[in-house]
Amino acid sequence: MATILKHWREAATLIIAAKSKNIANKYFYEILMLKRSGKSKFMPSLSVFPGGVAEDADFSPEWVDVFSSLGNDVWSQTLAHFAKVGKGPPMFSRQRDDHYSKIPSEVAFRICAIRETFEECGILLTRSSNDNKINTLTESSSISKTYGKIGNIAISDFETWREKVDKDATQFVKMCQEFDMVPDIWSLTEWSNWLTPVSLARRTSGTDEGSKRRYDTAFFLCLLDTVPDAMHDDKETVHLQWSPPDELIKSHLESKVKLAPPQIYEICRFLNFKDMKELNEFCLTRIDKRVTRNFPVPAICDDGIFVLYPGDDLYPEDLDVYGAKEPLIIQGTLREIHQKYPHHNRYVIKDKESHRDFINDVKFLCNVTQGDGHVIPVTDLSFLGVPRARF
């Protein structure tokens, strides 16, 4: 099997940023968010980026023929690019069965992100296999940034195939073969990688129940020239919205939307970029860079609970990704710890002294350089009328 693991499942998420027509916005692009159903077992009622669990069909050898039909050495140059940039985090570099190793994991997870986005909100990122512009996507065995391409399918066929793919992931390659198109993998920038942390409950109870809802997730970014037509699937997702990053964070603070820490972290990264030009230029700097796995480590102190991320003074060197050890306990109060260990990449989720639960707050502290050359999240939100996090 390509995707089955004992302790977690592999998944892919797609962050879509589209150029905004609202000149009143401080940020000139909007990000797509989907609200999960309250009946979902994983992150119920939270707003997330489109995406989902990888399927064996995303690694199918049939994709080799689909991409090979492009001609002009596009496929061989794409393979050469992924070979040149080197190994990424474990979900990209781990050894898979021969049957599921015909295409790189970098391609398979992009297919997964595009397929899931099609299922969940009806945005189809594909290109015609005879598109003569596709040869501009590869350059000297490298991948050049380009805006995403929306597939052109008749409305009647579109809804039929969306339903088919939703029921059976193997239908996605069939659809691409039927309409002579390829998933637009070239417009997806490798953005980040998040492994769901081991919960404190799992560490103390020793049960494996939580492993069913742990995910090693590849986050990709796609830029679009305009906001496309989209509609939530009314199954896994119940609401769809486009919002600039500052409004998303503000809505979270005002309890209008609920965001999980990974979504908050990534959206706060987007606060560094005012428009699509800046985003595009940043993506170009990352053509040959691989992301590192972001594995949050919960820690308990005298008066609170916080989460550590890579680069923090307190981030463990020997990571317990399987939850075999006892929870990490740091002596001291939140304030004392923040002062004693000044290199921060952490998120406070509970302050026992003030009896505050920060689920509807943004309490990131980050002042360290990212190991993969990424930007750090903006933590000073005073421009939103929000006091900077202090402890």
Instruction: Indicate the pLDDT class of residue 352, thresholds 50, 70 and 90.
Output: low
Q: Residue 389: what pLDDT? A: 52
The domain limits of the chain are 9-285, 296-384
Bridge-based pairing state of the strands 297-301 and 328-329: parallel
Span 383-388, average pLDDT: 72
Cα 75 to Cα 115: distance, rounded to the nearest angstrom: 20
pTM: 0.91
Confidence band for 371, pLDDT divided at 50, 70 and 90: confident
pLDDT digits (tens, 9 = 90+) for 207-265: 444 446 899 999 999 999 999 888 887 777 788 999 999 999 999 988 899 998 899 99
How many angstroms separate the CA atoms of 236 and 221, rounded?
21
pLDDT mean over 164-185: 96
Do the beta carbons of residue 13 and residue 191 sit within 8 Å? no
Residues in the chain: 391
Average pLDDT over residues 16-37: 90
Provide the pLDDT for residue 145: 57
CA distance 267 to 253: 13
| pLDDT tens figures, 103-142 | 999 999 999 999 999 999 999 999 988 765 554 444 433 4
Q: Which of 389, 381, 51 is nearest to 247 (CA)?
A: 381
Alpha helices in 254-342 (DSSP H): 261-270, 276-285, 334-340
Q: Among 3.20.20.70, 1.10.3720.10, 3.40.50.2300, 3.90.79.10, what is the CATH number of 9-285? A: 3.90.79.10
pLDDT digits (tens, 9 = 90+) for 23-32: 778 999 999 9
Whole-number Cα distances in Å, 358 to 90, 200, 317, 353, 354: 31, 17, 27, 13, 11
Q: What are phi and psi of 359, to 5 degrees?
A: -60, -30
Rg (CA), the chain: 21
